[in-house]
Each structure stands twice: as structure tokens, then as C-alpha cells.
Amino acid sequence: MSTNRKLRLGVLASGGGTNLQSIVDQCQALKIDAEIVLVLCNNPDAGALQRAEKAGLPNTCINHRDFADRQSFDRSVVAALLKADVELVVLAGFMRIISEVFLDAFPQRIINIHPSLLPAFPGLQVQQKALDYGARFSGCTVHFVDNGVDTGPILAQAVVPILAEDTEETLSARILQQEHKIYPHAIQLIAEGRVTIEQRQVRIAYAEKSETALINPPL
Amino acid sequence: MSTNRKLRLGVLASGGGTNLQSIVDQCQALKIDAEIVLVLCNNPDAGALQRAEKAGLPNTCINHRDFADRQSFDRSVVAALLKADVELVVLAGFMRIISEVFLDAFPQRIINIHPSLLPAFPGLQVQQKALDYGARFSGCTVHFVDNGVDTGPILAQAVVPILAEDTEETLSARILQQEHKIYPHAIQLIAEGRVTIEQRQVRIAYAEKSETALINPPL
């Protein structure tokens, strides 16, 4: 067990929380030098809340429906994160747009995972979009959050092939497998203090080739 | 040696012609059931013309500067291709926009290769754009040509990683290696009569998983 102080994570989720679970598992297995100090959901029915409860993690729901606008919701979320001394905000299926209020409170300290190889297919329902386009590959991207939609500097990506028989469900599942690998890995790179952003390029100190560009086992 | 009739290719190039060369080599090695019946350049200095000459292939230059507009240039190109009984038009670094005149003459019979994983990074100087964006992967795409810029249905793609130390030159070279593999391969799929287009998805009959989604050797 590392004696280093651990990176304090706040994980935000709106849904089932499988990406949260992969981070919980890696923290518990001491594979990453981080600890989740708050799980925050905007939706009281989020499965992520139950996962947090089960793992014995501090968790809270701040329901966006209780707020008049995005800024006041974000101010409340930021207050909860600051109170828990969160150092890195990890969006794990958090279905709310992040406002400037939030970005200003955690500059270059908010990361997201997106189920496509950005800049291809930003936005929603992107697995279906990749199928409809007839792309031969898709994947997932861990990126820093900026004020655009899925436009921030890229930390890590993983590729998966798209197969002729794929449906939205099978492709999503194949991508999700990779999400569960690269998201904890990207968090560990930050925990190790090896990540810097130059312009919009994310540099990893002492990187192995395979650390930020993962390929699903060869076809 | 196959006794089947060979698919008649017209290859259009503006530059050095390394993609032309990879097709010439595969045809000569009888790896693809196709023959190049015309190499056509818009630029009298194109290295592709010398490669064609050396390989003993029919070749011609139609200089776009001799024409008043794109349509009249395209009509002349189409006439040359039809005269040579070309069945499939293969753009290999052909730096001219294809007009409707040309598209109408060879419906779903014009293919192009582009040095990115479309729909990411259409247009020009795309290797530098991928580097500037901080993407972790790029690659190349063989697609049917439609009336957009690099928007047509995708036949095959290959992925390569982007490395921290990459320059435009090293990345371009890594992608080009894959271009030389997937372009002849895509031509062979058409020669075998296995390719159909539904909506914008290109279906390959009896496809192996690896036939249209190639990954550069694992990292």
C-alpha cells in the first residue's frame, strides 16, 4: 500500500454508475492512488447512489429540479464538492451541462468520459451515430471538460472495431468495457502528477506508448 | 493465376503516386483481381506518371489549367476513362474536387483514400490537425466519393496510434503504411463483387472481421 496522500475524487453520475463502479473497484484494490470522497447525483433514482451506499462512500443527491437555473444548481454542486475537499471532479455519466460557475471553481480539474473517438461523434446517442455513419471503428475518450460539448483536451482514448452485426447495444457494451479500463487509468495518471496541458495537447510525463492509446485485443 | 476477368481500374493522381505504386505492385503480384487500364494525372510533373511509365501502364496527363472550369475538365477526364473502359475510378492523391458531371458518369464507382479516421478530420493537412487536436489515434479511410468533402460511405479503415513524439512527417508515414495495405484490399473486395451500399453503410458479403477494420500491430 502506497503511503502517498491520495487524490481526492468527487464522482458525479446521473445513471447506473458502472463507470463509478470501475473506479470504486480500482480504488479498493489499491490500483489507483485516489479515494472517492463524494459521490454526487442529480437524480434521486440514480443507481450510482446505491453503489456508493453499498461501497460505504459519502454520497448525496442534489436534484437539479429544485433549482431555478443551471448556475444556481452548479453553485450548490460546487459547494458540496469544495466542502468535501475534492481535488478532481470525475463525470461518470453525469447528464448535465457544466456551466462556467463550475468550470471556474475547478479549472482543468474536471474530467469526462465519452463513448466515441472524439472529435468524431460528439453529443448524445453516439454509438448509434457511429453505426449509422458506417464507421469501421469507434471507442471512448477521457477528456478535460471545457465550455464546449465534448471538445476539451484529450487525456486517453481506446479503440474498438465496429462489426457488421453490431447493434447499438452490442457496440455500447464493447465500448463500455474499454471505458472501465481507461477511466481509472487516466485518473491514476493525474494522481501521479504526470499530466500537463499545453495548448490543447495533454502531455504525460514518462509515458509508455500504451498508456494513453489503448487498442482492444487485435481482431 | 485467376482466370476471371479482371476489374478495370482508372487511377487518378496528382503527386508522387505511392498509393498508385501499392496498387500496381498488388496487381503485378496477382494479389488483386484487377488491372490498371489508365493512369491519369492533372499535373504534368506528377511522379505518378513516371511510375506508370516504368510499370508499362497506359497513362495520360489532362492538365486542369487548360480548361475554363471544373465541369469541362471533368468531362474530358470522364471521356478518357470511358474510352479506356474503366469500371472503377481510384483516386490516389488526386487533388481536384470531383464535380457532378464526374459522379454521374461513375455512380458509386469512384473511391478515395483519406489520411484520417473519418468523420474526424476531413479536408486538408489532416495529420497536423490530428496532432494539434491532441487525438490519441488517427488512421486512414477508404470511402466511396459523393458530393461532399470526404463524406462518402466508408469501405475500410485502419487505425494507428499517435505518439507523444510524433511530427506531421512521422505520423503521415505511419498512416501511409496502412494506406498501402487497405487501399488494394478495398479494391479487391470490389473486384470480388462483395460490396454493396445500403443507405450509407457499406456491406461486405462473407466478411472476415479483419477485412475492413485493420489495426496497426498492437502497441
Range 112-131 of B in CB contact (< 8 A) with A: 117-121, 131
**Domains, in order of start, for chain B:** 7-107 (3.40.50.170), 112-205 (3.40.50.170)
Query: What residues form DSSP beta bridges with A204?
Result: A195
Question: Is the minimum CB–CB distance between B213 and chain A shorter than 8 Å?
Answer: yes
Positive or negative, the Cα torsion across B202, B24, B172, B50?
negative
pLDDT in tens, A45-57: 999 999 999 999 9
Residues of B in contact with A218 (CB under 8 A): 215, 217-218
* Mean pLDDT in residue range A35-51: 97
Write the residue in B199, B202, B209 that is nearest to A161 by C-beta.
Answer: B209
Q: pLDDT band for position A11 (50/70/90)?
A: very high
* pLDDT on residue B217: 41
* pLDDT on residue A1: 47
Cβ distance of A209 and B132 shorter than 8 Å = no
Write the residue in B120, B164, B203 that is nearest to A164 by C-beta.
Answer: B203
* pLDDT on residue B113: 97
Lowest mean pLDDT among A63-67, A204-208, B16-20, B29-33: A204-208
* Mean pLDDT in residue range A152-168: 94
* Ramachandran angles phi, psi of A185, nearest 5°: -65, -45
Question: Is the minimum CB–CB distance between B157 and chain A shorter than 8 Å?
Answer: yes
Task: Check whether A61 has a pLDDT greater than 80.
Answer: yes
Distance CA A175, CA B159 (A): 16
B34 CB burial (10 A radius; 0-12, 13-18, 19+): buried
Which chain A residue shows the shortest CA-CA distance from B156?
Answer: A136
Could you give the ipTM of this predicted complex? Answer: 0.92
**DSSP 3-state of B112:** strand
Q: Where is B137: in which H helix or E strand? A: strand B137-144
Can you state the percent helix, strand and coil of chain A, rounding each to 5?
35, 25, 40
Question: Is the minimum CB–CB distance between B101 and chain A shorter than 8 Å?
Answer: no
Mean pLDDT, chain B cut into blocks of 10 residues (219 residues total): 79 94 95 97 96 97 96 97 98 93 97 98 97 96 95 95 94 95 95 94 82 54
User: Mapped to the 3 state alphabet, what secondary structure does B41-70 carry?
Assistant: ECCCCCHHHHHHHHCCCCEEECCHHHCCCH
* pLDDT on residue B206: 85
B114 annotated active-site: yes
Strand duo B110-114 + B88-91: pairing? parallel
- The nearest CA of chain A is from the CA of B167 a distance in Å of 13
* Mean pLDDT in residue range A134-144: 96
CB pairs < 8 Å spanning A and B: 103
Strand ranges (E), chain A:
7-13, 34-41, 59-61, 88-91, 110-114, 137-144, 154-161, 195-198, 201-204, 213-215
Contact call for residues B190 and B156 (beta carbons, < 8 A): no
Percent residues over pLDDT 90 in chain A: 89
Write the residue in B154, B161, B163 that is nearest to A136 by C-beta.
Answer: B154
Q: Which of B134, B143, B138 is nearest to B117 (CA)?
A: B138
* pLDDT on residue B3: 54
Task: Check whether A72 has a pLDDT greater than 90.
Answer: yes
A75 CB burial (10 A radius; 0-12, 13-18, 19+): middle
* Mean pLDDT in residue range A196-215: 81
For the beta carbon of residue A81, count every other beta carbon within 10 angstroms. 24
Residues of B in contact with A137 (CB under 8 A): 117, 139, 157, 159, 213
Write the residue in B136, B156, B200 that is nearest to A136 by C-beta.
Answer: B156
Mutation site for A-interface testing, chosen from B137, B141, B151 by largest number of A Cβ within 10 Å: B137
